[in-house]
Structure 1
Amino acid sequence: MLLKRMIKRIYRWFSRLSLQNKLVFLYTTLFMIPVFVLVFVLSHEFYENVISDTIRENEYLIEMEKIQVQKNIEAMREAAQTLISDDQLIHFVSDRRDKSVRELIEFQNEHIDSKELQSVNPLIDYSQFYIDDPSLIEMWPLLFRENRIKSRPWYERVMKQNGTELWWLKRQDYRLLSNVPDDNPKISLFREVKDSQNNHLGMIEISMLQRNFFPKMYSPITDGQSEIFIIDQEKEVFTNPANKFLREHKFKKKHFQELIQQLTQNGKNRFIYMNNSIPYLIASTEIEELNMKMVNVVSLEKIDSETRKVRYMTIIIAIVLLAILSTLTYVITSLLLKKMYKLIENMKQVEKGDFTTKIDIDGRDEFSTLAFHFRNMLSKINHLIAEAVNKQAVSKDTELRALKTQIDSHFLYNTLENIKMMAEVEGKYEISDALTSLGSMMRYNIKWKNEFVVIGEEIAHIKHYVMIMNLRLDRELVLEVVIPNELLNQEMLKLSLQPIVENAIKHGIEPSKAATRGRIIVNAYKDDQFVFVEITDNGIGMDETDLAMLNRKILHDEGYSDRQSQSGNGIGLKNVHERIVLFYGKEFGLNVRSVKGKYTSVVIKLPYLLIRGANGNV
């Protein structure tokens, strides 16, 4: 409902605008919608492309880091294996007897000072063997008693590994020799060592500085927009203390917990993370050997800002361009619609009654065509006004003449009435009936209140006419009326049938020498939206030449000459046809059909128009 009301308000507001403002509004709307759609689509595509490039770049970075980490893993494993595989070392620590000074010195010189034992890889910080022998004489920096490390958090975990390796990240380390804290974070490989009888001998530790183990993580950040950190098996986060990216972007413990949760639950290696309304790209990889995740956090703030900047700049340029184009459109439409406004002013003058206003609009465009037709309309209106004035003057003159005729007709009606009474007194009833019919005909002819009557009234008039004609003919005329009751109220012009019946008697029935009585049939029927009245006589008929000439005369064909109608045949029919065409149109009128020696039929085509309340009785 709210949407419908808004649409209606917009429609009402738009409908009240002028044509010029509508054109500018439509032009602006049709221009802005594609521009804004294009801007957002292109900016979104640009943003997606930049994000894709960033993802590829950081995935490559983190994969390269993983490759380096795997190399360091192998180096530390190799160092651990070197210690475990040293038979003399294992035999020395397995021998629980008290050793002589000479044996200790020889072992010290051959193993403890050996570079191979010190480190297989120069990146390894130290290698230490913790022996489960309280009586062992420690040989620094390799051999230490195991009870030194039993309190360390990783000791129990190593023992539970049952001889398999354990990797451990250290934020801080303690040198056993000095017992001084070492703030350099390390990663250590721990592994339990057993003798040939599967007895516990101790454990070894291979340690490497985290900055050597994770070189990319500890390398200086050039763009300051990303940082790599590690999540160990205990869900603890290890970062490079020298990097300030995560601290500057206010990544706190809860944010790391959210990241760990999403990485664990969703199982996605990359996704977008929002922190303080800033988008970050999170790309991670699993280091299966360490059971740890390496995560790279990349800020997309700069990319997002640049995308918005490009988008806003494009929109601003589009708006400026639109303003320029709208101004040009307004000016151009003003020039184009100048003729329309001038035509509107002329129409207003005509509305005030000035039909003589001059319309000076020329050209070949639509408004010039409209002005041309408007000029023609004004010319026809002025012509119709002049005709109406003339008709009004003629009507007044006709009314005066009709008034005079009415005065004279009273004397005639009274005289006919007196003659009728004398005929009835003398018993001349035929004469009396003829006088009655004659009086009715005269009243029907003289009483001219309207051009239109109903078919029923015309039929009554024809009956009176036929009755009078029977007095002057040697034989009786028969009038047959076959008209449905529903068509008795059909409209037609007054005195349309009498000229046709008169023409049938004069030119069809009277010249016939046949012994049969003259017959005139009046029939009416309806077809779709038209009514047809057909008057048929059984007179002499016409051949095809005379019939064609008569129809051409009625239709006033241009090929017909008035010299061809010297006998006067068809003049009454022509007048009836012209009256029908004048009042109803060119598609209506008369049509004559005839067969020589048989019949003549005149068909009148009229529009189907019923006059309500007319008397349908014949």
Structure 2
Amino acid sequence: MNLKKIKEAANLLERLSMQQKLIALYIIIIIIPIIIFTSIYFRNVYDRSIDEISIKSENALEIEKIHIKNNIETMRRTAQMVVSDFEFIDFIKSRNEANIDQLIDFRMNELSNVTRLQTNNPAIENIRLYTTNPYITEMWPILFKEERIMQKPWREEVINRNGMEVWWFDQQTDDVLERLPSQNTAKISLLRELDYPKDEHLGIIEINMFLKNFFPKMFGTVQDPDSVYVVIDKDNNMIRNFYHTYFEDEGIDPEDLKLKFNKSKHEGTGSFQFENNETPYLVITAYIDDLDAYLLNVISLEGLYAETSKTRNVIFIGIIFLVIILSFVTYVLVSLLLKKMYKLKDSMKRVEQGDFSVDVEIDGKDEISELAFHFKSLLGKMNGLIAEAVNKQATAKETELKALKTQIDSHFLYNTLENIKMMAEIEGQYAISDAVTSLGEMMRYNLKWKNDFVVLDEELNYIKNYVDIMNLRLDGLLTLKIDVPHELHDHEVLKMSLQPIMENAIKHGIIPKHQKNEGILQVNARCSEDYIIIEINDNGVGMTKEECELLNLSIQTGAGNQNLSSKGGNGIGIHNVNERIQLYYGTEYGVFVTSEKGEFTMVTVKLPCKIMRGGSRSV
């Protein structure tokens, strides 16, 4: 019986229109969540409110961390600028007692420069350097003897850190000259050992800042009565604003808070809850890695209960009103949405029937309108591709005619070169005859360009002819050595992919170095798994490591492409060779250069293993 009712309901659903289905689905989607929502809402409101407080507090902590990091960087930068002031440091490390003129010059120049660092950073309270150099005279407020800080608890730790920075919190500020009593003003200090020569203690640099400037939230004039900020350092000491009586008003024991924190602390941002006098508290923690300390925001949740009760009543009334409004709005929107969809469906049917001139006019910014826009763009691209195909056919015919004309012209050139060759042989000018033969083969190779692919053997013959012609110009300077296994001669390579590399090696590698000495060009090839490696090596001027890295970057990215093209003999350039290889075969293949200044340059070409069986393709 139940199965029969399910089938009837399914049949009824199938008979409904799309609009009726959407409205029914919308009502179901609204009603079911309302039932679930009313049963669990009041249980989850409290948790969600805590989450909101946590997010707000975490954001506030992040902002505070940004201020803290800015202050840290300011102090670090100031310390580094002091250390980097070589004239100042040279005076400090001097082992000769300075005369009056030197002291005055130092105070007016180097010491004034350091003093200006403090003046230009108002948040920094003091910049001090405590030195062990007995020849140095104390100069307030920067330069002091290290014996003044012998009893400081941080001195031994700073020395043991071997130049690494140490951050130290002080709840009170002492007068280094011991003229004034200690002030109840907390501060933080950046401490670094100064050693010269290496591992020889020269002194300690101290950069300090008042905590009211370093922790603006904690010591701000406007305090949230329901929360407080504190810091727990690496030694488990709590640093807080004692003028803020939050702990006293709430009756919280700081030591008890530290115990609860130590049980739940971890690096990064975290949180935990605890109760004190039946009042719940939320604590958000953030780790400050530079200080190896934690920033805590302690928040009272006492006022949350009253707000939850008020929110519950408002939301319950709002949900009922919202369902009524949304039901009406949904009905209107669904009607408009489906109207656009039906219009788009009719346009698609016309395209399916072969009418590519359909003009889809659907305005709006919703998904259906966006789909209509992309469909219209697709139609435009289809029409463009059809027109492009027609143009390509016409261009192909025109190219065939031009190729025929070129072939006729090339026959004239070949016959002329053959006559010149015969005349040279008759006259006994065999060097000229060989050069004309090489030139004729190169021209035949260039002019008969019907395919972008040739076998490796043909590309090697081409560079042989090229080297022969260059030797005619260079009085036999060049020696070409080819070590390519016979089984690789039928492998596929891109036409004119090796000649630009060879030309670049001769013009910019061998000629500037050898002049009248022999220049050696070595071509090697080997097959490794599913790719072939071709190496063109010359014993030319070579390049430095930096120049080689810049050249490889230019080859891959095209930066400085004009310069590369100028180095290629025929204007194609190594970058263009690499670009052609990656265009035809993929980015895992291409050209890479290694070199050593004054020794060699080797260009490595990586290609896929493809055997052109049955002989070479038409060139």
TM-score normalized by the length of structure 1: 0.43
Say which structure, 1 or 2, has more relative contact order (CA 8 Å, 6+ apart).
1
